[in-house]
């Protein structure tokens, strides 16, 4: 069908971005490693398995931390947590954003005004400040971080979807539906929604990248995922101690580099997707 | 156009009111000022008297109006920790934050604008890919990680730059001293600003370069330099102005982390301290202030846009 040809075209255009292809492969490997962490991690991430702060060796490929836990195992579990927080927060904020954006754009009028004013309100508060305040009000922890990031990051999606709905509504095929007396539900879910999925998907990759960065920042500041559970941010927290920073690079550099690699790969993939899905090119 | 500006201002008013309501609700739900009074020596009736004195026995919406009245007269309450008025705490720290944010924005744009234009002119060449890749790197590095790397390199290894504060302790802090303290925090913030904006400037420039009037200008043979710097740049700056407006909340968020990393004595640092010590009047005072600033900044960018760009039709 026509749909299949479309997919092929998108894949072909995506493949042209070599950096994005490499990034996608890297991400897939990292996701598999994160999922398989309980199977492949050499040690229990929360149990002492060696000497204190030992540099990398054959027993502990990335050394051990201040209380003798294996850094490689901790890093694998941390990546699992960070990817999970990023993905879950992205799903929540995208769902909220899509629902509010659809309602706002499709119903219009008072509903539109109210939703858009709420969007403006949330967007007026500096993002990280809102997240920090929420983290202070609620008990910090894995699920509160997911919910906080999810509930704070939807306005961008909502605006994007609303804009899309407004422009699609002016298209002739929607006008034809309305003229033919199609039910509103059909127009909204079978005609408008599928046509806004591509830009939402591209935007969601950005949200995913930002959520990973925010989780890292929050946990680094001690307001996110709480120890002993490892996250990429709270591993880096150790580097605030000057001895760790100056002479125990294996305790902080790998976690930081991993965050950068994950986030930049997601950004590259998102950018290539935007290019591949853009109908105007 | 005037109708549009008035409409835009009218739309901002409910948002402003909404911001104060959200701010008040979080503050009042987060912690009662009576909580610190609890103890074995304090009777229930004493707490009730205190509650009545503070107006806490009234319904929440009346409390909100009382609070709003105070805010409008410039009273944001008192810090739970230091008992200082929140307005004076903010007043004594806002200068150093503005200095940090302003310099970072300037440095970031001085990098981003030429780099974005260069990238757009050399579209799809190696140089373009390199710059775009670098800009992605700039947005992908967590600011605290970059700060750690800088402190490791320039303070610990090389010993060139001080890693905390705004002036060397025990000295009056002359201009050069402040500059030395600013280099690292400004660089960290500027990297993320430049990272985002290189791509914005690039795409704005690309859009302008495809316009008919540029083809005309080129066809007239006025030379590449004039075409790019006079005709294209001016028109590409318009979307960039909006982006600068959008940067303000991002900048403030970045400042919270960067100030914490480098102990820069600004609003971000006191906010972070207030958050760890649950000093809600200070937190919500800063939140309210920044939200209002962001709202005003957006309003002003929209109005400037409406005045400067005659091609946009406003309903």
pLDDT digits (tens, 9 = 90+) for B241-266: 777 777 777 788 888 889 988 989 99
- Cβ-Cβ pairs closer than 8 A, A with B, add up to 121
pLDDT digits (tens, 9 = 90+) for A114-173: 998 888 888 887 777 778 888 777 777 788 889 989 988 899 899 999 988 888 888 888
B288 touches chain A (CB under 8 A): no
Question: Which tops the pLDDT comparison, B208 or A93?
Answer: A93
Q: How confident is the model at residue B35 (pLDDT cuts 50, 70, 90)?
A: low
Beta strands in chain A, from DSSP E residues, in sequence order: none
Say how many Å lie between the first and final Cα of chain A, rounded: 22
Q: Considering chain B, what is the average pLDDT of its residues?
A: 82
**Quick check: A273 pLDDT over 60?**
yes
Report ipTM for this prediction.
Answer: 0.87
Q: How confident is the model at residue B315 (pLDDT cuts 50, 70, 90)?
A: very low
Residues of A in contact with B249 (CB under 8 A): 123-127
Determine the Cα–Cα distance for residues B119 and B19; give it in Å rounded to an integer.
Answer: 40
pLDDT digits (tens, 9 = 90+) for A210-240: 999 999 998 888 888 888 888 898 888 877 7
**Quick check: B272 pLDDT over 90?**
no
Taking CA atoms, what residue in A is nearest to B145? A256
Determine the Cα–Cα distance for residues B236 and B117; give it in Å rounded to an integer.
Answer: 9
Shortest Cα–Cα distance, A114 to chain B (Å): 10
Percentage of residues in chain B with pLDDT exceeding 70? 90
Determine the Cα–Cα distance for residues A162 and A158; give it in Å rounded to an integer.
Answer: 6
**Quick check: B162 pLDDT over 50?**
yes
Determine the Cα–Cα distance for residues A71 and A44; give it in Å rounded to an integer.
Answer: 10
Q: Can you read off the two tokens belonging to residue B248? A: 């303000």
Residue A255, φ and ψ in degrees, nearest 5: -65, -45
pLDDT digits (tens, 9 = 90+) for A76-89: 999 999 999 999 99
Other CB atoms within a 10 A radius of the CB of residue A11 amount to 10
**Quick check: B183 pLDDT over 80?**
yes
B9-16 contact pairs (CB < 8 A, 24+)? B9/B299, B11/A117, B11/A120, B12/A120, B12/B295, B12/B299, B14/A117, B15/A117, B15/A120, B15/A121, B15/A124, B15/B295, B16/B292, B16/B295
Least confident of A66-75, B41-50, B250-259: B41-50
pLDDT at residue A1 in the model: 41
Shortest Cα–Cα distance, B141 to chain A (Å): 5
- Which residues on adjacent β-strands are paired with residue B85? B78
**Quick check: B284 pLDDT over 90?**
no
Q: How many residues does chain A have?
A: 281
Most confident segment among B38-47, B189-198, B207-216: B189-198
Q: What is the mean pLDDT of residues B42-66?
A: 74
B14 touches chain A (CB under 8 A): yes
Q: Where are the domains of chain B?
A: 15-72, 86-308
The separation between CA A77 and the C-alpha centre of its own chain, rounded to angstroms, equals: 17
Per-residue burial over A116-154, b if 16 or more Cβ lie within 10 Å, else e, is bbbbbbbbbbbbbbbbbbbbbbeebebebbbbbbbbbbb
- pTM metric for this prediction: 0.87
pLDDT at residue A3 in the model: 57
pLDDT at residue A244 in the model: 77
**Quick check: B38 pLDDT over 60?**
no
Question: Which tops the pLDDT comparison, B214 or B200?
Answer: B200
- Walk me through the domains of chain A, giving residue ranges and CATH numbers: 2-41+67-277 (1.10.3720.10)
B154 touches chain A (CB under 8 A): no
Percentage of residues in chain B with pLDDT exceeding 90? 18
**Quick check: B17 pLDDT over 70?**
yes
Residues of B in contact with A222 (CB under 8 A): 276
Q: How confident is the model at residue B54 (pLDDT cuts 50, 70, 90)?
A: low
- For domain B86-308, the CATH class is mainly alpha
Determine the Cα–Cα distance for residues A238 and A220; give it in Å rounded to an integer.
Answer: 9
């Amino acid at each position: 069908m026509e749909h299949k040809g479309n997919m092929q075209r998108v894949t072909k255009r995506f493949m042209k971005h070599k950096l994005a292809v490499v990034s996608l492969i890297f991400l897939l490997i990292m996701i598999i490693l994160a999922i398989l962490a309980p199977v492949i991690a050499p040690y229990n991430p929360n149990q002492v398995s060696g000497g204190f702060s030992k540099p990398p060796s054959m027993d502990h490929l990335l050394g051990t931390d201040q209380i003798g836990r294996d850094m490689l195992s901790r890093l694998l579990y941390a990546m699992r947590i960070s990817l999970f927080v990023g993905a879950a927060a992205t799903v929540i904020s995208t769902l909220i954003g899509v629902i509010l954006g659809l309602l706002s754009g499709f119903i219009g009028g008072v509903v539109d005004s109210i939703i858009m004013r709420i969007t403006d309100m949330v967007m007026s508060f500096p993002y990280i400040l809102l997240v920090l305040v929420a983290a202070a009000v609620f008990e910090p922890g894995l699920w509160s971080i997911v919910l906080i990031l999810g509930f704070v990051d939807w306005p961008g999606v909502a605006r994007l979807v609303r804009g899309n709905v407004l422009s699609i509504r002016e298209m002739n095929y929607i006008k034809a539906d309305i003229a033919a007396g199609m039910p509103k539900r059909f127009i909204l879910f079978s005609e408008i929604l599928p046509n806004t999925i591509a830009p939402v998907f591209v935007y969601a990759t950005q949200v995913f990248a930002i959520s990973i960065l925010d989780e890292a920042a929050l946990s680094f500041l001690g307001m996110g995922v709480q120890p002993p559970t490892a996250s990429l941010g709270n591993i880096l927290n150790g580097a605030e101690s000057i001895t760790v920073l100056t002479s125990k690079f294996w305790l902080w550099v790998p976690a930081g580099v991993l965050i950068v690699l994950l986030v930049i790969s997601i950004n590259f993939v998102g950018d290539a997707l935007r290019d591949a899905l853009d109908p105007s090119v | 156009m005037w109708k549009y500006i008035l409409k835009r201002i009218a739309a901002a008013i409910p948002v402003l009111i909404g911001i104060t309501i959200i701010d008040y609700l979080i503050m009042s739900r987060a912690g009662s000022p009576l909580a610190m009074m609890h103890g074995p020596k304090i009777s229930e009736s004493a707490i009730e008297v205190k509650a009545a004195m503070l107006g806490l026995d009234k319904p929440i919406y009346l409390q909100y109006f009382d609070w709003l009245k105070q805010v409008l007269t410039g009273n944001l309450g008192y810090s739970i920790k230091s008992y200082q008025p929140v307005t004076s705490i903010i007043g004594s720290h806002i200068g150093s934050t503005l200095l940090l944010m302003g310099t970072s924005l300037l440095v970031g744009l001085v990098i981003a604008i030429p780099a974005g234009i260069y990238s757009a002119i050399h579209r799809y060449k190696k140089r373009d890919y390199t710059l775009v890749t670098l800009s992605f790197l700039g947005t992908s590095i967590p600011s605290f990680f970059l700060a750690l790397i800088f402190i490791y390199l320039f303070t610990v290894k090389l010993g060139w730059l001080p890693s905390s504060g705004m002036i060397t302790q025990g000295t009056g802090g002359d201009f050069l001293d402040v500059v030395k303290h600013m280099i690292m925090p400004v660089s960290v913030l500027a990297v993320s600003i430049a990272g985002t904006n290189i791509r914005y400037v690039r795409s704005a420039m690309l859009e302008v370069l495809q316009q008919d009037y540029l083809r005309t200008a080129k066809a007239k043979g006025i030379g590449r330099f004039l075409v790019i710097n006079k005709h294209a740049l001016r028109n590409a700056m318009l979307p960039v102005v909006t982006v600068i407006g959008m940067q303000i909340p991002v900048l403030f968020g970045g400042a919270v982390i960067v100030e914490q990393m480098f102990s820069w004595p600004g609003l971000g640092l006191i906010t972070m301290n207030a958050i760890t010590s649950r000093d809600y009047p200070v937190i919500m005072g800063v939140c309210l202030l920044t939200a209002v600033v962001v709202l005003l900044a957006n309003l002003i960018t929209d109005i400037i846009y409406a005045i400067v760009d005659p091609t946009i039709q406003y309903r």
